[in-house]
Chain A
């Protein structure tokens, strides 16, 4: 508060008015979720009212995919979280939480390996046009090979190497390094020419140019890549678990609950929901890190 007669302290005046953008964002998300829930239950109600079949001009379209076995009520899925995961077992949410943590640890390790490897490649490519021209096509080509085809191979290799625990993280890393290479490379090389000339006028060495110019210049792009990688690493970990012979993880839970789907469809759906939430949570964590680190951006620009 400024009282009359006191000089106005410039630094105490906020440069931008407070805004409630985050509140609006949360409100929008909730609205969207409500809309999707309405669509889900509405489709089910519509199918049931038509006896799970629709006749249009002599053609019969089956709506059986909307029955309670194929598409459970959202309420049933929510209830499944609280019910025991199996005979005499703790509630499903507890089981899924521990499986999610197991998968998250694999995803985080994969994210770290892929991030470091991708970053190192991008720096290498920035300074060596020869390496970039020679290797970048292979980096791109690597992503055209389906992860499911590679995963069993990685499991076999890592088991032979005596690092079975690292098989799934390696598969996750395979998915995560790619966006990091591409975005970091673009960030490191898209430096304004005069910003680089300024460094020349200081006779700055390569180290200073990398750490004081190229890297900070690339940070927004690097975070874009890391956000993509965060969700990709969860997907990679779940897929990697399938052929890994692991006992734990969301991928294994998906396999198990798919096998016993007829007994309890909501449990598979609850597992799928958990996998989705895990990816969103990881994405959110990286977004928070971005907000803390990339702080110079104008409010309007994001």
Chain B
């Protein structure tokens, strides 16, 4: 397996206007292989979203090296190597569901027929085929977020970056969305997912590996392998190993916070 993301000695310092600087990320080292599902977890302020945004080239690191698909993040972004799912669905309200999914394809100059075919296929993948003609406000929050996942996958990027995508959903919807996401990820075997969350059960349920981060300064406290069998489903949550891994993750998070407070 080849390394898709490779990060060495990466630091990010935010300098505020009043001269106070915040060490958001300190000495981050992380390698992610192709096809892996990796979660970043930690309390607020641990820099997990910052790290994801650096991978996406939405912000620049202060120093250190990072490669995405063997390129600089900037080059990877220009090459449209990743799809990004934000915490909020971020749909364009003036576009129908179908046209929202077509948006990246329009920008990437796909032909009209290809755009529509792909967008419809993606909407089927997230099981919203019947809602193509609706406007975003006519959909529930969970449905809107599924549209935004369809949109991120429409141009078949090899990497899916997700920034707390289900954080605003209720527990029931979230578990259903977790299953949807695993189903999609399984159907696209080459796809790498980097998933930011603050939910322990979500991280354990979804991931191959969980990167535990601690705040002030943002550091990687521990990387935990989740060797639960796949495919995962309702029965996974009842496994003894699921409980053990969850409680280990909880301890790791608590220590990470405790060490700095």
A interface residues with partner B (beta carbon < 8 Å)? 10-11, 15, 192, 194-195, 197-204, 208, 212-213, 216-217, 219, 294, 296, 298
Query: B93, A11: Cβ atoms under 8 Å?
Result: no
Which of B58, B107, B137, B138 is packed against the most chain A CB atoms within 10 Å? Answer: B107
Interchain Cβ contacts under 8 Å between A and B, 18 examples: A15-B134, A194-B86, A195-B92, A197-B86, A198-B84, A200-B77, A201-B56, A201-B77, A201-B82, A202-B80, A203-B77, A203-B78, A203-B79, A204-B107, A208-B107, A212-B103, A294-B94, A298-B138
Given A202-B107, A216-B92, A11 and B86 touching (CB < 8 A)? no
Q: How far is the CB of B83 from chain A (nearest CB, A)?
A: 7
Question: Which residues in B have their C-beta under 8 angstroms from that of A10?
Answer: 130
Which residue of the partner chain A has the closest CB to B78? A203
Which of A194, A203, A213 is packed against the most chain B CB atoms within 10 Å? Answer: A203
Question: Which residues in A have their C-beta under 8 angstroms from that of B103?
Answer: 202, 212
Q: How many residues in B have their beta carbons less than 8 Å from beta carbons of A? A: 28
Give which listed residue, A198, A203, A212, A217, contacts B86 with CB less than 8 A.
A198
Q: How far is the CB of A212 from chain B (nearest CB, A)?
A: 7
Which residue of the partner chain B has the closest CB to A11? B133
Chain A interface SS verdict (over half): helix
Question: How far does the alpha carbon of A197 sit from the alpha carbon of B82 in the complex, in Å?
Answer: 13
Question: How far does the alpha carbon of A203 sit from the alpha carbon of B58 in the complex, in Å?
Answer: 11
Give which listed residue, A11, A201, A294, contacts B130 with CB less than 8 A.
A11
Query: A200, B93: Cβ atoms under 8 Å?
Result: no
B88 close to A (CB within 8 Å) = yes
Question: How far does the alpha carbon of A212 sit from the alpha carbon of B86 in the complex, in Å?
Answer: 19
Which residue of the partner chain B has the closest CB to A300? B137
Question: Which residues in A have their C-beta under 8 angstroms from that of B79?
Answer: 203
Query: B138, A194: Cβ atoms under 8 Å?
Result: no
Q: How far is the CB of A286 from chain B (nearest CB, A)?
A: 19
Question: How far does the alpha carbon of A201 sit from the alpha carbon of B56 in the complex, in Å?
Answer: 7
Question: Which residues in A have their C-beta under 8 angstroms from that of B104?
Answer: 202
Query: A296, B95: Cβ atoms under 8 Å?
Result: yes
Question: How far does the alpha carbon of A212 sit from the alpha carbon of B57 in the complex, in Å?
Answer: 22
Question: Which residues in A have their C-beta under 8 angstroms from that of B84?
Answer: 197-198, 201
Query: Beyond A201-B77, A294-B94: 17 further Cβ-contacts under 8 Å?
Result: A11-B133, A15-B134, A194-B88, A197-B58, A200-B57, A200-B77, A201-B58, A201-B83, A202-B80, A203-B78, A203-B80, A208-B107, A212-B107, A296-B93, A296-B94, A296-B135, A296-B137
Question: Which residues in A have their C-beta under 8 angstroms from that of B108?
Answer: 202
Question: Which residues in B have their C-beta under 8 angstroms from that of A212?
Answer: 92, 103, 106-107
B8 close to A (CB within 8 Å) = no
Question: Which residues in A have their C-beta under 8 angstroms from that of B88?
Answer: 194
Question: How far does the alpha carbon of A204 sit from the alpha carbon of B92 in the complex, in Å?
Answer: 15
Which residue of the partner chain B has the closest CB to A294? B94
Given A201-B84, A202-B107, A203-B77, A213 and B92 touching (CB < 8 A)? yes
B31 close to A (CB within 8 Å) = no
Q: How far is the CB of A244 from chain B (nearest CB, A)?
A: 41
B90 close to A (CB within 8 Å) = yes
Q: How far is the CB of A8 from chain B (nearest CB, A)?
A: 11
Q: How far is the CB of B160 from chain A (nearest CB, A)?
A: 11
Question: Which residues in A have their C-beta under 8 angstroms from that of B133?
Answer: 11
Question: Which residues in B have their C-beta under 8 angstroms from that of A192?
Answer: 90
Question: How far does the alpha carbon of A200 sit from the alpha carbon of B79 in the complex, in Å?
Answer: 12
Closest 6 CB pairs of A and B: A201-B84, A216-B94, A296-B94, A298-B137, A194-B90, A204-B107
Question: How far does the alpha carbon of A197 sit from the alpha carbon of B77 in the complex, in Å?
Answer: 12
Given A203-B78, A212-B106, A212-B107, A198 and B90 touching (CB < 8 A)? yes
Query: A219, B94: Cβ atoms under 8 Å?
Result: yes
Query: A15, B82: Cβ atoms under 8 Å?
Result: no
Given A201-B56, A296-B95, A15 and B86 touching (CB < 8 A)? no
Question: How far does the alpha carbon of A62 sit from the alpha carbon of B108 in the complex, in Å?
Answer: 75
Which residue of the partner chain A has the closest CB to B87? A194
Q: How far is the CB of B134 from chain A (nearest CB, A)?
A: 7
Query: A195, B90: Cβ atoms under 8 Å?
Result: yes
Which residue of the partner chain B has the closest CB to A204? B107
Question: How far does the alpha carbon of A294 sit from the alpha carbon of B93 in the complex, in Å?
Answer: 11
Question: How far does the alpha carbon of A219 sit from the alpha carbon of B94 in the complex, in Å?
Answer: 10
Question: Which residues in A have their C-beta under 8 angstroms from that of B90?
Answer: 192, 194-195, 198
Chain B contacts with A in 48-90, Cβ cutoff 8 A = 56-58, 77-80, 82-84, 86, 88, 90
Question: Which residues in B have their C-beta under 8 angstroms from that of A11?
Answer: 130, 133
